[in-house]
Structure 1
């Protein structure tokens, strides 16, 4: 990982001095976790506003030319220390890790050591600032033990945001199940509409139960937040709103104004003054 010296005192310059902040070349570093097809690629694409094919892979401060980040079916980069960067959002640095399918304890252990080392880093540029963990709702599988282990990693030092992805897919699946198991006399638009409403209730209840379960796994002082996303595969008003909510939830989990400033700058929003900047790097 690049060892940029981005330590600074938030009081050394006016928060509206854009040249000061621009000169810092700040980075906000996120580890995104999840099993295959959990929606990680889609999340990255919506945050970056670009295709995953446009992402660059960096290692130790140098771009690895010719290496690309594969799509949703890929199980992640082999080296969790590799950085995923998008020219469209140059302030964000993402790390991906496989290891959440059964039998991937070695990869998971590498990710855990990466979190520990990043937590101990003294330079702001080398620190890991947030963990995004994607859990798909359209799959009936229970949580892997490897997924449950993540909740012991942060220990209050790094905010952990659990993103329940593919809510729309889960509602569609439950709706189809309700319709397929109904009696032959149950049909028509009104029945399908009621089935959809019942499916929404079922999925919402499942999310609340899963949140309760996951909160019990976390440490007492861990900063754990939850977010649910739907319809993220395309760039729409809804997906843009979901992306903004993801950044807001991450921001709320950060400790102190320094990291909030970093996130606001790489995202383009001035948290301190509750305003907006047209910010170009």
Structure 2
């Protein structure tokens, strides 16, 4: 972080552009896992502003918005944003299908961009695996397969998404146990408190289940309530991304 008391600004990313750094990320998750929201908050841009490149060429008329969460991208396509020129994203098809073909495509992509690749700009630097909390209480078997496949291949960040939505849904379920004319402010407040505890407990259970699949020291779970999306360390320089899309180094 900055040593002075000044408010951090986008200029803190100047080192990134000057050194032409390129941080390559594979983002995974079932349909509607919140991948679009994460990218828009991190980049401070909308998916309509994204460019998709294939073999170094920009695909004309490519519309990304609404597609990334439906898994319609070729995993080799590069998703880029002018607001974050140092970042390159790759999207896999929704993992809920869990087909052998899709698992093979992910494994092939990861293998081809492993640390053995001499050109650092072409390496895969991180994998973000998105698991929505408001959709399902259990992991899909395909998500377990993906986790087993990817652990140890690159820094793997498991992101529990849609925390607020899960809390709201759980709160509604709790309130359904009370007659509507008794749902005063204190009852609603207590219901939300219990809902937050329930959702946070679910996060710990899911994380425990993933860790139980084998060594997972390189996987870290993040909640969405802190306002921080994630922290990335590159060449000993730490960047922390916030919900507003700003990055402070």
TM-score (norm 1): 0.74
Gaps of 5+ in 2: 1-12, 241-245
Matched, 1:193 2:189: yes
Distance in 2 (CA, whole Å) between partners of 1:192 and 1:164 is 25
Of the two structures, which has the highest relative contact order with CA contacts closer than 8 Å and spacing of 6 or more? 2
Aligned to 2:4: none
Matched length? 231
Distance in 2 (CA, whole Å) between partners of 1:25 and 1:73 is 26
Q: Using a 3 Å threshold, how does the CA distance of structure 1 residues 39 and 28 change in structure 2: closer, same or farther?
A: same
3-state SS of paired residue (1:29)? strand
Aligned to 1:242: 228
Displacement of 1:204 in angstroms is 1.0
Displacement of 1:103 in angstroms is 5.1
C-alpha root-mean-square deviation of aligned residues, in Å?
Answer: 2.6
3-state SS of paired residue (1:151)? helix
Comparing 207-216 with 104-113, greater Cα deviation is found at 104-113
Displacement of 1:84 in angstroms is 0.3
Aligned to 2:37: 42
TM-score (norm 2): 0.83
Q: C-alpha offsets along residues 47-91 of structure 1, whole Å, 9 cap, x if unaligned?
A: 110000000001122211211213267422431010000001010
Contact 2:175 2:191 in 1 (8 A): yes
More strand by share: 2
Runs of 4 or more, structure 1, over 6 Å off, are: 18-21
Aligned to 1:32: 27
Q: C-alpha offsets along residues 115-152 of structure 1, whole Å, 9 cap, x if unaligned?
A: 12111322101110000011000012521121112222
Displacement of 1:182 in angstroms is 2.7
Gaps of 5+ in 1: 1-17, 231-237, 252-256, 270-275, 277-281
Distance in 1 (CA, whole Å) between partners of 2:223 and 2:67 is 19
Distance in 2 (CA, whole Å) between partners of 1:225 and 1:43 is 16
Q: C-alpha offsets along residues 195-244 of structure 1, whole Å, 9 cap, x if unaligned?
A: 11111111111111111111112435x411110114xxxxxxx7xx423x
